[in-house]
A = this chain, B = another copy of it.
Amino acid sequence: MFETIAIVGATGAVGGIIRKLLQEREFPYKNIRFLASKRSAGTTIEFAGKSYTVEEMTPEAFQGIDLAIGSTPDPVAKEFVPWAKAAGCIVVDESGFWRMDPTVPLVIPEVNPEAAFTHQGLIASPNCSTTQMVQSLKPLHDAGRVRRVIVSTYQATSGAGVGGQRELVDASRAALDGADFTPETFSHSIAFNLIPQIGSHKHAGYTSEEMKMVFETRKILGDESIQVCPTCVRVPVSNCHSESILVETERKITVEEARELFAATPGLKVIDDVASGKYPMPKDCDGDDDTYIGRIREDLSCENGLAFWCVSDNLRKGAATNAVQIAELLVRNGAAV
């Protein structure tokens, strides 16, 4: 057990879910502290029947904390992680800043738990759109070796935080009422619209979100030869990311085999009966820790291809749940204190 744990970014969308999960999953600790930016410091959080004052994230604040789960923007993670490590605190970090650092393991507990135990004080949790995809790729990779992945995402506004979800509501209401609306969180109106850009331009026409799906997939699966071609699109959905995935494997995997592989994999659930109108949809996966797979079918365009549809709560498994599961790994392994 870690004696003193902390949530960094405790007042954000993911921070709020981490708080819920720690209680739901009875995460063990003696003391808990809540850290956030200066803006939120001083506010009160109710947790497990007690009131806590949110502390400002400073180098000194990490003294006495054994484990911190961080969910902050990248620039904040860049700053606080070295403070935490210097104070002897192990960090599970949700941000994108440290993920590709070769000294930092990037972990999905159902996929590469062993990597967690190689940590040097910091473990990164993957990008939300990567996590659900790699969860579904893992059993196929083990069974038939994944060679190539073509993925088009349908990403919810919650990926842009509480502000993204609020803006979807406000922009949609304005659109329905014929009122003017100026977007703030998104670069264009998200109401009844699609924005085929998530993140900034990064490489050869691909965005930062898309390149995360390329590089993080290889790192987590430990195979630099896997080719990924992603297209990331923001859709007017509040929560839960969806992905249309086509995967080519070295050995052909049939639909029946894929369905069995998915169904036997912890963290994955199969809902797959299109003739009866049954498949995963964002509205049904909200608040759930599993990643859902449906529309499983043989690729019509390539012998060893398999197409499927994958939906997951990006705030939970795509962020909070995965981070808490990494922390649980450390607890179970007794790697701490």
Contact = CB atoms under 8 A, between A and B. Distances in A.
Contacts of A206: 297, 300
B255 A205 contact: yes
Given A246-B229, A274-B207, A195 B281 contact: yes
Copies in the complex: 2
Contacts of A169: 176
A263 to B, nearest CB: 16
**Which of A169, A173, A194, A298 is most buried by chain B, counting CB atoms within 10 A of its CB?**
A194
A305 B281 CA distance: 30
Nearest to A294: B196
Interface stretch (A22-30, A46-54, A94-102, A149-157): A149-157
**Which of A149, A195, A197, A237 is most buried by chain B, counting CB atoms within 10 A of its CB?**
A197
Contacts of A244: 152, 196, 231, 233, 244
**Which of A168, A298, A302, A307 is most buried by chain B, counting CB atoms within 10 A of its CB?**
A307
B236 A281 contact: no
A231 B274 contact: no
Given A176-B169, A176-B172, A281-B196, A302 B229 contact: yes
Contact of A196 (B228, B238, B242): B242
B150 A194 contact: no
A78 interface: no
A161 B279 CA distance: 23
Contacts of A300: 204, 206, 214, 227-230
Interface string A268-295: 0000001101011111000000000011
Contacts of A296: 205
B237 A193 contact: yes
A233 B280 CA distance: 12
A298 B194 contact: no
How large, as a class, is the contact surface on chain A? Answer: 35 or more
A314 to B, nearest CB: 13
Given A229-B246, A235-B194, A244-B231, A148 B281 contact: no
Contacts of A282: 192-194
Given A176-B176, A192-B282, A235-B236, 19 more contacts: A148-B301, A150-B150, A150-B301, A154-B233, A169-B176, A188-B283, A189-B283, A194-B235, A194-B237, A195-B281, A204-B297, A205-B298, A206-B300, A214-B300, A227-B302, A228-B300, A229-B305, A231-B295, A244-B244
